[in-house]
Amino acid sequence: MSKIVFLSEAMTLAHPARSRLLATALQEASHEILYYENPVFDHLLPRVPFTVNPLDSNSPESFKERLAQGIPLYDSDTIERYVPEERKILAKEKPDLVIGDFRNTLQISARLEGVPYLNLMNFPWSLHAEHHYEMPPGRALKYIGKWLGDQLFRAFSHSLIRGQCDPMLKARKKNGLEVLPPSIEYIYTDADYVGYLDLPFVYQGLKMIPENHRFIGPVIWEPDIPLPDWWNNVPQDKPIIYINLGSSGDTKTLPVLCQRLHDTGRFTLIVGTGTTETLSGIPDSVFQAPFLPGTKASERADIVICNGGSPNAMAALAGGAYCIGFWSNLDQAKNMSFLTKRGLGASFINIPSRISKVVNCCLSDPVLSNKQKADLAREFKAWGPGPRFVSFVQKILEPGRVVAPKPEQGRRVQSR
């Protein structure tokens, strides 16, 4: 039996949700799991057959604020807090492998403690993906406009991204580790092994990835909560739109978006507000609840409007719905750029001036074709994450396995 430490960041709900499911799959495969996570989302997350130990993590509120202000998610203060705690855990547990979900400081901690490190990420951040940058919402965008903002952001992206990388680059140098290029993709994916929680089907033209990188498939999770009383009373006489901007989305535009869609008279709206607080301005005819099972809601919907992040977008596609990403950060924008190219959705920045474009997109009756739905159903079935993830981990743990093969030792990505 191998001992595996699992550390999950809790800046958004998606990370601990998928980490718990993957850790459970490993325990069921007879591995010993030592699991660590900040309990901020514990009331929403699935119960697990192992102890959930506490872990320091920046709050979801801090995550949103840092994104809005352009502050590095892993600044010097965060790194100086995380690394000692991680090293203490690894020294105490002495695992055969440590797995991190957006726990970027493990690239320092695991190397210093001599523990092989598997990093769970989404493929849009890979060095092997095409890179797409748009200026995210913020104060500057309000004054200079979307078009000019994108031009300036792309022109100065190297300098802007260097600022995001500097704290981690300095921490690596301080700890005597290899110097990395000033690339956010290097910072986010540096590890001995990388597992991509995505469908390779989405990334057209993808041929090779390094041998120590694997697609393991999307982890689709939804809270185990009772369905709202209105669930069986939703009328079927109009196209249904399911709106869920998620824990990392910006809900300030949600009431106006709902009102504008309602005013068309063309749609029935189902909304997961993502908060127990009452949001004023949402029409009474809208079917709403704080949280909804995303896949079930997507299966009922013709169109899903979400934050564009991988978890919500994958739930929409798994349900056979067209996905409109109303995005608030660069991660969501990058993810939607691939879905848009694949003809699986549309992408709009989450600012008030783009609400009309979202409404017009819905009015154009976008739907997935029967072939697209069949292709997606086949791919989701083929890329269920549990077996592939367990197989990858067991391969890593084979006796004599060489940590971090050279990048040129690539492997062809199979469609299934």
What angle is formed at CA 150 by the lines to CA 145 and CA 154, rounded to 5 degrees? 150
What angle is formed at CA 245 by the lines to CA 240 and CA 247, rounded to 5 degrees? 140
Per-residue model confidence as pLDDT tens digits over 248-272: 667 789 999 999 999 999 999 999 9
Strand partners, 179: none
Contacts of 97 (CB under 8 A, 6+ apart): 2, 4, 5, 115, 116, 117, 118, 393, 396, 397
CA-CA-CA-CA torsion sign (94, 95, 98, 99) = negative
pLDDT score recorded for residue 151 = 57
What the block records as the tokens of 178 is 């290899």
What the block records as the tokens of 9 is 């960041």
**Mean pLDDT on 100-121:** 97
Per-residue model confidence as pLDDT tens digits over 126-184: 999 887 666 565 555 554 555 565 555 555 455 556 778 999 999 999 999 998 998 88
Query: What distance in Å separates the CA atoms of residue 23 and residue 310, rounded to the nearest whole number?
Result: 19
pLDDT score recorded for residue 292 = 92
Question: Domain extents for the chain?
Answer: 3-218+383-412, 231-377
Cβ atoms within 10 Å, residue 352: 12
CATH class of the region 3-218+383-412: alpha beta
Q: Do domains 3-218+383-412 and 231-377 have the same CATH topology?
A: yes
Place of tokens 């951040």: 125
Place of tokens 């031009």: 151
Q: pTM for this structure?
A: 0.90
- Asked whether residue 44 carries a pLDDT value surpassing 60, the answer given is yes
CA-CA-CA-CA torsion sign (189, 190, 195, 200) = positive
Per-residue model confidence as pLDDT tens digits over 347-357: 999 989 899 99
Say which CATH superfamily domain 231-377 falls into. Answer: Glycogen Phosphorylase B; (3.40.50.2000)
What the block records as the tokens of 115 is 């523990």
Phi-psi region of 30 (alpha: psi -120 to 50; beta: other; left: phi over 0): left
Which of 102, 92, 136, 134 is closest to 3 using CA atoms? 92
Coil, helix or strand at residue 100: strand
Query: What distance in Å separates the CA atoms of residue 148 and residue 142, rounded to the nearest whole number?
Result: 11
